[in-house]
A and B are shown apart, each in its own frame.
Chain A
Amino acid sequence: MSAAPASTLKRTPLFDIHAALKAKLVDFGGWNMPIQYSSILQEHHAVRSAVGLFDVSHMGEIEIRGPEAAAQVDFVSTNNAVKMKTGQAHYSALLYEHGGFVDDILVHKVSDTHFFLCVNASNQEKDFEHIRACNRFDANVEFTSDRYAQLAIQGPNARATLQKLTQTDLASIKYYWFIDGSVDGVPARIAHTGYTGEDGFEIYIGPDGAAKVWDAILNAGQEFGIKPCGLGARNTLRLEAKMALYGHEITASINPFEADLGWIVKMEKGEFVGRGALNDVLEKGITRKLVGFEMTGRGIARDGYEVWSEGAPAGWVTSGGPSPTLNKNIGLCYLPVEKAVPGVAIQILIRDSPVDAVTVATPFYKRAKG
């Protein structure tokens, strides 16, 4: 990541709070974001065993309105937007015509004529331009990132924490559904979604209310041992849950079938951007695929390391690091499709030395359903 001077980095509405909490701040795609407050390990464990609070206001929002909003979202993304019910959310992808990823996104259906998209921070302008360029239904496509702060409350005690601050019955919001309500008196879109592999909520609020809501949630979660959590823990948590990160598992040169995300591609729904290319991919078959691995030798695999198999280079690590929950060193990598199955011996080239690893089934961590 390029090292821009801190003064030119973008800040979320909670920047002063992060500074006061003495968070370690880093340049994350042009945003000055907390990587950790106390310790990545402690924050990670807080989310797995209690509850953690993340400022993810750097994420972008794009809204699509109009009588044919559903058709437009359906055309520009891979999942089936037309089938969605009001109040439902789903994971989806924006693709280029050649079938590679523009971004992965969350789509929320607010009404028959209004869809709310949450997109990656560093892709938001690109996504907006892409959707506008593919606007064949004359929908109103609006870039609304400045109107929202986003907080993620994640962990087994996330619901109990948030329930103290809202009239909305959170138990009534099914997984990947949302309700417009309020949190601590501030209007909020409350979505039962997350990026940690743990139960939890993501809430969208106006930037002016962000500091008040942040403090209220930290107070409400005190009895459970809530911790403010940075992007460091967010990354170890999502890796354990095998959730993709743009720029790592998914890029413009990777298609959804390679990324093991065929489940968000609805070929049968009809035309959409990238469908033709994906059709060719399905006819020919993919040659490489994402697979999980764990280290059996001493060493930690990191993003970008080369993967070897049977004495020859075979792929690359997309994300790697320690798994605090499993106490193992884990990672995701691309391998030839015949090797992208559990139980294959591989070597990770760690600083010019091959270190043994084995492919494994994913996700690495799956929460017990409560």
Chain B
Amino acid sequence: MSYPESYRYTKEHEWVHADGSEGTIGITDHAQQELGDIVFVNLPRTGASVKRGETFGSVESVKAVSDVYAPVTGEVTAANELLSTKPETLNGDPHGDGWLIKVKLADPAEINALLSAEDYQKYVGAE
């Protein structure tokens, strides 16, 4: 699976895609592969605040629970409803339909500190 060039990535295996002042956040293909079958996703409500580097939800596979960390600071404008009934979407399309939340970015410049697609893939390859 390819890592979109327009996304930015974290070493904790989240991605964020900024469009103006809105950012969409998800977990990477590498993350979903490591987790295996995803059976439950716990996300914040609309209006909640997320803070860069802090956990905002969790993704559960058959085997284990994993925290998800916010790559950027902002206010949640949407949580992906599809994942409450079809969590397996996260395995099938982690960079697309399996997005987790959308946020109103507190500081769009925060994105610049994150990894490029190329750097993230190098990081994952070396891990």
Contacts and interface: CB of A to CB of B under 8 A. Distances in A.
Nearest to A351: B58
Interface in B54-86: 58, 60-65
A41 B37 contact: yes
Instruction: Give the one of A40, A236, A324 with max B CB within 10 A.
Output: A40
Contacts of A309: none
B65 A322 contact: no
Interface of A: 24, 35-36, 39-41, 232, 235-236, 299-300, 302, 321-322, 324, 329, 351
Contacts of B64: 302
Nearest to A35: B63
A39 B58 CA distance: 20
B40 A300 contact: yes
Contacts of B61: 40
A298 to B, nearest CB: 8
B40 A322 contact: yes
B70 to A, nearest CB: 17
Contacts of A236: 62
A40 B62 contact: yes
Contacts, number: 35
Given A300-B40, A322-B39, A40 B63 contact: yes
Given A36-B36, A321-B63, 4 more contacts: A24-B36, A40-B61, A300-B60, A351-B65
Nearest to B88: A41
Contacts of B63: 35, 40, 232, 235, 321
Contacts of B60: 300
Instruction: Give the one of B37, B62, B64 with max A CB within 10 A.
Output: B62
Contacts of B62: 40-41, 232, 236, 321-322, 324
B93 to A, nearest CB: 16
A360 B62 CA distance: 21
Contact of B37 (A39, A235, A299, A302): A39
A321 B60 CA distance: 10
A40 B36 contact: yes
Nearest to A36: B36
Interface in B14-73: 36-37, 39-40, 42, 58, 60-65
A207 B61 CA distance: 33
11 contacts: A36-B36, A39-B37, A40-B63, A41-B37, A41-B62, A232-B36, A299-B42, A321-B62, A321-B63, A322-B62, A351-B65
